[in-house]
Amino acid sequence: MDKKLERRAYVADELRIDTEEGQALKIHGHAAVFDTLSEDLGGFFERIAPAAFARTIQSGDVRALFNHNPDYVLGRNKAGTLKLTEDSKGLAIEIDPPDTQFARDLLVSMARGDINQMSFGFRTLNDKWQKVDGEWIRTLLEVELVDISPVTFPAYPQTDVAVRSLEVAQAEERIANRWKLKLSKRRLSLLEL
C-alpha cells in the first residue's frame, strides 16, 4: 500500500531562539504534542500517542524545513544540525540553522513573534480509529517522520490516506453494527421459541 505524505501543525508555545552571547543561534520547540486532540481534519480529529516517533527519530533521515519547502533546509538529523527527541510533552526539536540569508530572515521573524508555529510531515505506519461521542478519533501510534517545519500558516489538510483510513474505519463500524443487529434478532427469535 502506498503511504501518502501527511502534514500536521500545532501552535508551538515553546518555539524560541536561544541567543547566548558568542554562541550560534538555535531554534527550540515542539513540532508535535502528545495526547492532544487536533482541530477537525475534515470529518475526524487526531491525537498522537507517546512513542509514535520513537523508531523514526532513531533511524529516519529527517529534515528541518521552512514552510515544508525543500528549497529552505534549516537542518537535518543525519548531518547533526537537527536534534529530535521525545519528551513528556511531545516531539522536541533543536535546529542549528545555517548562516544563510533565508535562515537569518526566519530568525528575525521568529524573534518578532511573526512565526511561532510548527508542523510536521509524516507517513502513517500504525494508527487506530475509534468513534467517541459521535466523533471519529484517529490515534497515530507510529509514524515515519519526513520533516519538521516552522510555518507561517499551519494547515491540517485532508489527505487521501486519511480519508481512505476513515472510510475503512466507518465500513468496519457498519459491519460490526450489522453483526450486532443480526445477533440481537437471533436472540429474540430464540427467546420466542
pLDDT at position 57: 95
CB count in 10 Å sphere of residue 151? 23
Q: What is the pLDDT of residues 3-57, one digit of tens each?
A: 777 666 555 455 555 555 555 678 888 888 888 888 888 888 899 999 999 999 9
Q: What is the pLDDT of residues 61-116, one digit of tens each?
A: 999 999 999 999 999 999 999 999 999 988 989 899 999 999 989 888 888 888 88
The alpha helices in the chain, defined as continuous H runs, are 54-59, 101-112, 160-192
pLDDT at position 157: 31
Farthest CA pair distance, the chain: 88
Q: How far is CA 119 from the centre of its chain?
A: 7
DSSP of 5-46, one letter per residue? PEEEEEE-TT-EEE--TTS--EEEEEEEETT---S--SS-EE
How far is residue 154's CA from residue 192's CA, in Å, rounded to a whole number? 59
Which pTM does this prediction carry? 0.74
- Judge whether 10 and 31 are in contact, CB under 8 Å: yes
Hey, where are the domains in the chain? 6-157
- Under DSSP, the state recorded for 53 is T
